[in-house]
Amino acid sequence: MENTKSEKPWGGRFEQATAASVEAFTESISYDKRLYRYDIEGSKAHAAMLAANKLLSQDELTSIVDGLSAIEARIEEGTFSFKSELEDIHMNIEHALIGAIGPAGAKLHSARSRNDQIALDLRLYLRDQCDRLMALLDDARRAFVVLARKYMGKVMPGYTHLQRAQPVLIAHHMMAYYEMFGRDKERIADCRKRINILPLGTAAMAGTGLPIDREMVAELLHFDAVTANSMDTSGDRDFAIEFVSCCTMIQLHLSRLSEELVIWSSQEFSFVQIADKFCTGSSIMPQKKNPDIPELIRGKSGRVVGSLMSLITLMKGLPLTYNRDLQEDKEPVFDAVDTVSASLAIMAEMLGNLEFNTERMEDATKTGFITATDLADYLVLHDVPFRDAHGIVGRAVASCIEKGCELTDLSLEEMREFSPIIDKTVFAVLSVEGSVNSRKSIGGTASLRVEEAVRTAEKHMGIGE
């Protein structure tokens, strides 16, 4: 039986070295090494604060900062050797620092714990990812505005229950996604506010008895404030759950868009052409052109939803304060970040190469009684109660189905059989163009409203400047 005394930084209380199986099971360096830049940034700020409070000399501070910079350079060059027996990114960097500069490096951990250190690293990381996601969301939103401008005035069927409902402008449909991803950006920006609170200085869970200045560290690291309760801070991952929740909404919206692109690119619809470079073929059917990118984005929504569920389940039963369970927070966060970022980037690129089959889309507005609601509105304007108007139009549609024709195929005399109020002005109302341009309410699909929306978006996104 191995009796070698533990050499871990926390090993003073232990008589035996950690089993190799335990080291393999508990290590996190294999995935949290991506936090190295934030761990070093936080350590430099912490060191500066320690020196300002006489817990480090200026020479020690210089040695620490220079040593950390050298370690960062080695990591970026790929010459740094991460060791699983050192468990995590914090201990790998601290071990290397002590090896490089000696006792000064061992002073760096004064007034902090790995508990508040990882909370800091994760917040710094997520703050950057918020900024990155907002930029990617803007790229996608810009692509929708460009498509809206390109196809301004062109019509398509709008759907409810995946049944043709009312005619709309293609631009109006594109601007719906502009609004959708705009809300995603607002959510990320709001989430960033709660991420940008400094946890460092709360130590393990009760604060520290050493003289420190948390506000100084917050200023150095550009945090808006410091956390107010050390116990809450130690075990808090609300900010991570909120971030991944925002990611989930983004991916769900990408999935909805992907579903439409898959449907629209089918031969049954033939509404869009996805560029060949974003599609693949079949290994057995030579005629196939498969919309793999939208399908993969749609499929990857399950990963992001899974990451959210993983974090929620992780946190649901944890007592205050820190528990080792929290080591499991990073992989779901990283996977959500990677999946959503990649999906947004390739979607924006694909949208920039999308072509709409406008003739096919316009033809689709000529069947399915798509202006039936306009006939009901026409009757309402002639003082017919809407419920009565609804019944009149329903009977007219039923008659057309029996005859195998559309409402626009009926003569004036046939129309008047359903209501004597109807006159020759009804045919302008029943046209697709008349239907679209009658929807002048704020947020409607009328050309003037959509033009206003696109112009506002172009100005906001800096398009055409």
Which pLDDT score is estimated for 2? Answer: 46
Q: Give the C-alpha separation, 145 to 140, whole Å.
A: 9
Q: Are 21 and 80 in contact (CB under 8 A)?
A: no
Looking at residue 123, its amino acid is R
Rounded-to-integer distance, Cα 240 and Cα 311, Å: 8
Q: Give the bridge partners for 166, in sequence order.
A: 158
Beta-strand relationship, 163-169 and 155-160: antiparallel
SS (H, E, C) the chain: CCCCCCCCCCHHHCCCCCCHHHHHHHCCHHHHHHHHHHHHHHHHHHHHHHHHCCCCCHHHHHHHHHHHHHHHHHHHHCCCCCCHHHCCHHHHHHHHHHHHHCHHHHCCCCCCCHHHHHHHHHHHHHHHHHHHHHHHHHHHHHHHHHHHHHCCCCEEEEEECCEEEEEEEHHHHHHHHHHHHHHHHHHHHHHHHHHCEECCCCCCCCCCCCCCCHHHHHHHCCCCEECCCHHHHHHCCHHHHHHHHHHHHHHHHHHHHHHHHHHHCCCCCCCEECCHHHCECCCCCCCCCECHHHHHHHHHHHHHHHHHHHHHHHHCCCCCCCCHHHHHHHHHHHHHHHHHHHHHHHHHHHHCCCEECHHHHHHHCCCCCCCHHHHHHHHHHCCCCHHHHHHHHHHHHHHHHHHCCCHHHCCHHHHHCCCCCCCCCHHHHHCHHHHHHHCCCCCCCCHHHHHHHHHHHHHHHCCCC
Distance CA 256, CA 174 (A): 13
Give pLDDT, residue 11.
61
Verify whether residue 282 is a known catalytic residue: yes
Set out the domains of the chain in order of their start, with CATH numbers: 11-110 (1.10.275.10), 115-362 (1.20.200.10), 364-461 (1.10.40.30)
On whether the CB atoms of residues 110 and 50 are closer than 8 A, the answer is: yes
Angle, CA of 268, 274 and 277, to the nearest 5°: 135
Smallest Cα–Cα separation from 335: which of 295, 371, 305, 368? 305
Catalytic residue from among 21, 81, 161, 411 = 161
pTM score of the predicted model:
0.93
Is residue 161 part of the annotated active site? The answer reads yes
Cα–Cα distance for residue pair 426/221, rounded to 1 Å:
67
How crowded is the C-beta side of 290, counted as CA atoms within 13 Å?
12
Residues of the chain scoring pLDDT < 70: 1-14, 465
Whether 233 contacts 116, CB under 8 Å: yes
Q: What percentage of the chain has pLDDT greater than the value 90?
A: 88
Identify the sign of the CA torsion 190, 316, 218, 121: negative
pLDDT value for 24: 81
Mean pLDDT across the chain: 94
For residue 307, how many other CB atoms are within 10 A of its CB? 26
